[in-house]
């Protein structure tokens, strides 16, 4: 099973990368589960035709019982099974606890045993890597980590923090950083800046996504570019990233 956690600064494009990567795997015939680990709960929306999924934490706040598998998992484009952890009421509680509670529920309900995924993708808020936000990289969940960054200063700062945090977990059997995905924002000398970070961190750039109006246009329709135009040049970037991960895990 391919199990990848995708981290990066908030707003850097993790959900776009994750959803398109999930769709690319699905088109290739793989059974995929995507888990959004962000209180915004918008990771899977473009796999679901623009319709937001009720997050696990919202369900648990509004109901006396825990959700069933059918209530917490919805099937999106290409058969991708979608889960959103959600978070606490804004200003109250710890968002990381929503991730932990959802992961416990996934275990209790044997979600993976029901769906038998070939690929599990975790889309994680990456400004901090502590508590619940570290849960996806603990042993038994994700095995590989992708860091999404642009050449912007704060994106690279967050990327470095993520790499440092993961290095601090190295002796605990946690997931390892597989590489960097450069999600272009067209800042000056962007490729050189990200390459310098990757070289310093000792990790490769494994994917490069040009800034694309096409991605935005398809997302406005509630779709990934893989669904909207799988033959496009931008879609081929996500297929190439999927191929890389398949090869690395073969």
Find the catalytic residue in 40, 42, 176, 236: 40
Contacts of 245 (CB under 8 A, 6+ apart): 2, 4, 21, 144, 178
Active site residue 247: no
Active site residue 3: no
> Do 159 and 8 meet the contact criterion of CB atoms below 8 Å apart?
yes
Find the catalytic residue in 28, 31, 118, 127: 127
Phi, psi of 61 (to 5 degrees): -70, -35
Active site residue 144: no
Strand, helix or coil for residue 145 = strand
> Do 190 and 184 meet the contact criterion of CB atoms below 8 Å apart?
yes
Active site residue 153: no
Strand, helix or coil for residue 29 = coil
Find the catalytic residue in 3, 14, 178, 193: 14
Strand order in the sheet with 32-37: 74-75, 81-84, 32-37, 119-124, 2-8, 144-149, 176-183, 205-209
Find the catalytic residue in 9, 178, 193, 223: 9
- Catalytic machinery residues: 9, 14, 40, 127
């Amino acid at each position: 099973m391919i199990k990848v956690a995708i981290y990066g600064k908030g707003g850097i494009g993790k959900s776009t990368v994750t959803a398109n990567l999930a769709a690319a795997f699905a088109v290739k015939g793989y059974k995929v589960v995507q888990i959004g680990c962000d209180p915004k709960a918008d990771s899977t929306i473009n796999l679901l035709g623009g319709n937001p999924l009720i997050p696990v934490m919202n369900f648990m706040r509004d109901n006396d019982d825990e959700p069933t598998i059918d209530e917490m998992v919805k099937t999106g484009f290409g058969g991708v099974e979608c889960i959103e952890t959600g978070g606490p009421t804004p200003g109250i509680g710890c968002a990381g606890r929503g991730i932990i509670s959802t992961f416990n529920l996934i275990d209790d309900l044997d979600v993976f045993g029901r769906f038998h995924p070939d690929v599990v993708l975790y889309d994680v808020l990456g400004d901090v890597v502590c508590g619940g936000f570290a849960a996806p990289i603990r042993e038994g969940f994700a095995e590989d980590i992708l860091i999404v960054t642009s050449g912007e200063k704060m994106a690279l700062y967050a990327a470095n923090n993520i790499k440092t945090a993961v290095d601090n977990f190295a002796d605990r059997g946690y997931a390892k950083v597989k590489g960097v995905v450069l999600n272009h924002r067209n800042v000056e000398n962007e490729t050189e800046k990200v390459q310098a970070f990757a070289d310093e961190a000792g990790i490769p750039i494994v994917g490069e996504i040009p800034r694309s109006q096409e991605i935005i246009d398809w997302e406005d329709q509630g779709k990934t570019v893989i669904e909207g135009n799988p033959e496009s040049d931008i879609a081929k970037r996500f297929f190439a990233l999927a191929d890389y991960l398949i090869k690395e895990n073969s």
